[in-house]
Amino acid sequence: MAVAPPTEKSLRLATLLSRVALGDQAAFGEFYEKTSSHLYGVALRILRDPSAAEEILQEAYVNVWHHAGSYEAAKSQPLTWLTTIVRNRCLDQLRRRELDTVTLTNDDDDDAPAYDPPSDAPSPATMLMAGAEARSVRDCVDTLDAGPKQAIALAFYHGLSHSELALQLREPLGTVKSWVRRGLEKLKTCLDRAGYARAE
Amino acid sequence: MNLSRPDRPQRLDLLAAQYALGTLPARARMRLARMAQTDTVVAGALRSWEQRLSPLAEGGPPITPSPRLWKVIALRLGLEPVRAAAPALWWNRVAFWRGLALAGFVAAFALGITLLAPTPQVPEQAIVAVLVGQDAKPALIASIGRADRILTVKAVDAAVVPPDKALQLWMLPNGQPPRSLGVLPRGAVARITLPNVPEIAFANVPALAVSLEAAGGSTTGAPQGPVLYSGKLERMY
């Protein structure tokens, strides 16, 4: 699989990880210091609950300490590797939470932990462009129409499900689903053409 | 949906895409993750999509987690108390300080010292709870020595309480309703006498919380106002 060339920061993180694998506590401290606010941002935006987000991070770093040696530099960059793990754990928990909510048909949602992003927080669409810019995938994101772009951004950064997307964007469920599907297909075609990632 | 691998490649690709994006519903999500553990084709499809979407994750702004996160991680892993070990941790980082309200500056600095360095200020065998609000920033620190009866509650960056209101401290016992520890007296440091030594008083209590109540505290024995802060009790021994 094609991986973008490592940045200076990635190289530093990979070096730190290899030292963590040898039990170097200072390296672990520095690794935490360089990665935790990025990962916490990812987790908090999805889970909207500080203590749940902290718990996911806690597990992630405990795993880093114990399994730093299993990180494969050839397959992905350190922060990408860890971000994927954290995002997946958050999404697992979020989707499971919805499953429980449906079972209990709890319509009194007042107890749900609320996360109000600060008013100066960038919109999902802005984050999508910023993320794209960071690795020159901007052209591909730019090919998306406004609707699919918005839907993909909300799903990616805030973990919205199809029905939540429909609610948020005030569109029928079917429309939102096809936006997501078409958006993803278009992204894939464009990114693969740019040699970004290719199935093995 | 079929339990076996989706036979059409397009179908698998769409499922993998939605897995990586996050929109796949719970059951389908779990099923696909399980399949990926044994089926390399499924695993490959997931990895491709995760890789493809990963640059987007860089777009979200970072948010600094509460200092207690590192403390808990270090505690769990039995790392040596941080002294000269980690060169650049949050308490000497500009971004962290900028994130704290000026009012909380001095107190938070003291907190950083007392919690993370073995100084005589906190007994070595202490129980500590860092109470945080919705923004995940520390507002109050409760601490007590293992053999003490007086719980000290320090305001780090707590809300200003109007004259007709009061902050009330609660224990959150496992599987039971909150139990009051009393109204917090006004001031930077409050002292609350526990009914017993912490090992007994906090035996089944994983966390503390603070609610905003009418002056004099809740009249029902349960929190009536909103819960402003909460935090886990951490046993530092």
Determine the distance in angstroms separating the CA of A109 from the nearest CA of chain B, rounded to an integer. Answer: 15
Model confidence at B183, pLDDT cuts 50, 70, 90, reads very high
* Contact call for B21 and A114, based on CB within 8 A: no
ipTM, two decimals, is 0.81
Best interface-test mutation with A: which of B27, B30, B54 has the largest number of A CBs within 10 A? B54
User: Cα dist. B72→B78, B79, B86, B235 in Å?
Assistant: 10, 10, 16, 10
Of the listed ranges A138-142, A148-152, B33-37, B66-70, the one predicted with least confidence: A138-142
The order of strands in the sheet holding B165-172 is: B179-183, B165-172, B207-214, B227-235, B126-132, B138-145, B150-155, B189-193
Collapsing DSSP states into helix, strand and coil, what is residue A56?
A: helix
* Contact call for B51 and A115, based on CB within 8 A: no
B59 touches chain A (CB under 8 A): yes
pLDDT in tens, A161-180: 999 999 989 999 999 999 99
Best interface-test mutation with B: which of A59, A84, A97, A167 has the largest number of B CBs within 10 A? A84
* Contact call for A40 and B53, based on CB within 8 A: no
The strand pairing partners of B172, in sequence order, are: B207
Instruction: Please say if the pLDDT value at position A50 is more than 90.
Output: yes
Residue B33 vs residue A136, higher pLDDT? B33
- A-chain CB neighbours of B13 within 8 Å are 188
* Contact call for B52 and A135, based on CB within 8 A: no
Window A:51-90, CB contacts with B under 8 Å: 51, 53-54, 57-58, 61-62, 65, 75-76, 80, 83-84, 87-88
HEC per residue, B63-104: CCCCHHHHHHHHHHHCCCCCCCCCCCCHHHCHHHHHHCCHHH
Which amino acid is residue B29, in one-letter code? R
d(CA B146, CA B144): 6
Model confidence at B60, pLDDT cuts 50, 70, 90, reads confident
Q: Is the dihedral of CA A152, A157, A13, B50 positive or negative?
A: negative
**Over residues B1-18, mean pLDDT:** 75
Chain A: residue whose CA lies nearest to B60:
A127
Range picked from A99-103, B61-65, B187-191 for highest mean pLDDT: B61-65
pLDDT in tens, A189-198: 888 887 655 4
Residue A76 vs residue A162, higher pLDDT? A162
Judge if pTM exceeds 0.90.
no
A194 touches chain B (CB under 8 A): no
Cα-based angle A71, A76, A80 (whole degrees, multiple of 5): 95
Are β-strands B207-214 and B227-235 bridged in parallel, bridged antiparallel, or unpaired?
antiparallel
Q: Where are the alpha helices (DSSP H) in chain A?
A: 8-20, 25-47, 50-67, 78-104, 124-134, 138-142, 146-158, 162-169, 173-193
A159 touches chain B (CB under 8 A): yes
Model confidence at B95, pLDDT cuts 50, 70, 90, reads very low
Determine the distance in angstroms separating the CA of B44 from the nearest CA of chain A, rounded to an integer. Answer: 7
Q: What is the DSSP letter of B160?
A: P
Q: How many CB atoms lie within 10 A of CB A40?
A: 23
Residue bearing tokens 């050839």: A74
- A-chain CB neighbours of B61 within 8 Å are 41, 121-122, 127
Chain B: residue whose CA lies nearest to A66:
B77
* Contact call for B48 and A197, based on CB within 8 A: yes
Contacts of B96 (CB under 8 A, 6+ apart): B64, B67, B90
Element (H, E) at B231: strand B227-235
Residue B85 vs residue B41, higher pLDDT? B41
* Contact call for B65 and A37, based on CB within 8 A: yes
**Over residues B17-28, mean pLDDT:** 93
pLDDT in tens, B70-79: 999 998 898 8
Window B:81-100, CB contacts with A under 8 Å: 82, 85-90, 93, 95
Of the listed ranges A182-191, B4-13, B76-85, the one predicted with least confidence: B76-85
